[in-house]
Structure 1
Amino acid sequence: MRPYRCFASCLPGLEEMLRGELAALGIPKPEVSKGGVRFFGHRRSVFRVNLCSGLATHVLLRFPKFEAKTFFDLEKGFRRLDLEPLLKEGEPISLRVQAKKSKLIHSGAIEDRFRSFLGKRLPGVRFLEQEPKDPLDPEGLFQAVQIRVFFDRVQISVDSTGIPLHRRGWKQAVGKAPLREDLAHALILASGWDRETPLLDPFAGSGTIPIEAAGLARRLAPGRLRRFSFERGAIFDEEDYQLEKMRAEKQSLPGLGFKLFASDRDESVLTLLEANAERAGVAEELDLRVGTFDQAAFLSGEPKSEQGAMVSNPPFGRRVQETTGLEQLYQALGRKLRLLPPSFHIALLSSDRRLTQRVGIDLKSAFLVPFGGLRVRALVR
């Protein structure tokens, strides 16, 4: 069987990190492209990236692009698609259409023509008007086709993922301004943490950073709890999928010989964190404490450790509509961080460089990504 032409999408700004992750997963010759990473892979590679990538958002199986300036051109291009190896007849399908800077600009008309074409090619096809949101629900699985028209070039892809990969399945309780799991994953990787020494998040909220860190340290597959669109598609093979799941499980660790510390001044949000950690299967790895950041582990002076990492997403104003007192908070945080050993890794996420300058530590930019209508930067030491 010929390999699939694949594209793993990610948050813009994380492409190079994703390329490194895919290479570490054994994907041959991954190539950075705008918004993601291209690669060629067989069925098991598609399963592996969906299951094991902490940075990707979708894994698309792409058909070759074609030019279409008229609907006649568009329908002619549809007829050349070899859909049967990817889409299964009788399973629900969601269509996502986007058209920009092209002669064919009306996405509704493009969708209507593809629906008509697909109804003839795959009799009995059912189209979803709204995609399910629960990545754990086996009844909510669906096939997805993405059509993108840009400068009269048509790119059609089958989405093997469905619900975005950052929806791991364990985060069912969230506090204010929750952090996406893939962004937390990237911040932890950028910190330089060795995954063998303690880690601290003094602004833990509902726990995205410490839970992702625990998963990384135990080498748990990020997608271990959830379901994927490929399970409904023609690409699916149960034996191959179980082999990939077994491969991932063999690499995991049953536990850690150290703790990851998570604290927050809001006791109620730590209750949410604990529930999320239980669902993720990493509650035993976490030490949860109620208190302000200066009462957190290491920052309070206890316990002591020469090695470790402080990785956090402190409040940065627009994210929670709070601006007063933040400069003083960052200054106070900086005073505590300067007491940590020089070997301690530090990583902060913020949309306001002026605030992080108040920390008074030489922090270097690791990446810049769009998030929640802002551009947020990872700053590391």
Structure 2
Amino acid sequence: MTAGDWGLLQPTTAGTRDAAGDDQVLAAMVRVEAALLRAWAAVDDEGDGGAARLLDSVAADPTALDRDALVAGVARDGVAVVALVGLLRQRLDRAGLPAARLHAGATSQDVLDTALMQVARATFAQVRVRLVAAGTALAVLADAERDSPRVGHTLGRNAAPTTLGVQIAGWLDGISSAVAAVDGTRFPVQLGGAVGTGEQADRAAGRPGTIEALRATLAAELGLDDPGRSWHTERTPVLAVATAASTVTAALGRVGRDLVMGSREGVDELGLAGGGASSAMPHKRNPVGPVAMSAAALQAPGLLSTVARAAVSVDERPAGEWHAEWSALRDLLRLAGGSADAAARTVSGLTVHRDAAARNLRSADVGPADAVTLAACRRVADAAIARFQHTLGGERP
């Protein structure tokens, strides 16, 4: 197997910890199989003979699995789970551990859907940390600059006086919305068997209702939500994750665009730490973080559209729609994670140039800034900062 993509053409994720890489997805799939063994042991009221612990060790180092066999399996079967179950069964057989319950009652979509929900949950946990870091820094900066006058722009033209604090408060509002979207996302387990009825699990246990107990136990094992159903072709859970990821990129993309505009030569209201080099112009320092945030926001809508189209599914298991989700969903998660990382790094080094903002306001000749001060204070303190604190559940920024 080749090394796969590792960030050569994606500045948003290059150099960051990728929670949605192939190894992370593979590890999550193995964790699903291990958790399913434990769920069976709990439902059957007997131990799993150490089989789940062996799979735990495989999940801890998924690179030990035969990648060539997995890639061949994807080409042969259309999904890696079939080959993965074979490889895991071989591991258990060699160790002399019982493998009868491996993958019992599950289908490939159960394993991959559940694995991707684990990956999404892990990515969103990282995203939230970085959003809070960026929001915390912006709240402090907005409060400090609430009275610092600048010229506001509408439709690309000078409009009316405002303040730097109000502009920054607008960015903070976007981050609050992004945090709320992340916090409101649910990550359900998937377990329905071949056609979503759970009949195989009931038959394996020899009693009806096994699938419900198995699904609930599997969800508890993995820390996911129990939806009380299968959702093989009812794809709103995936669409919700994709929408939240796109919300993050949109909110941060807006910040990125403003940072590029405000830090341009001749405007100079914002100062960015560091900067990327130019291959042709050694004097340049490009705003790499804001550019990456903007690029992520521009890519996300197309990916979200793919997930939304794939949600128009068919039958008990779809032919192609489900498969179309995989890369689009994972790329959205990567973009959200990389954009949040870029935002946290960029905002931590952001400086404000009050003199330049005041100069630009005078040059714009749009009227005195005195009248806007009181309204700006309310906008910053009573609205944006208070909302951010409320979004964090009362935490102080």
Give TM-score scaled by structure 2 length: 0.25
Larger Rg: 2
Give TM-score scaled by structure 1 length: 0.26
Structure number having the greater strand percentage? 1
Structure number having the greater helix percentage? 2
Higher relative contact order structure (alpha carbons within 8 Å, sequence separation ≥ 6): 2
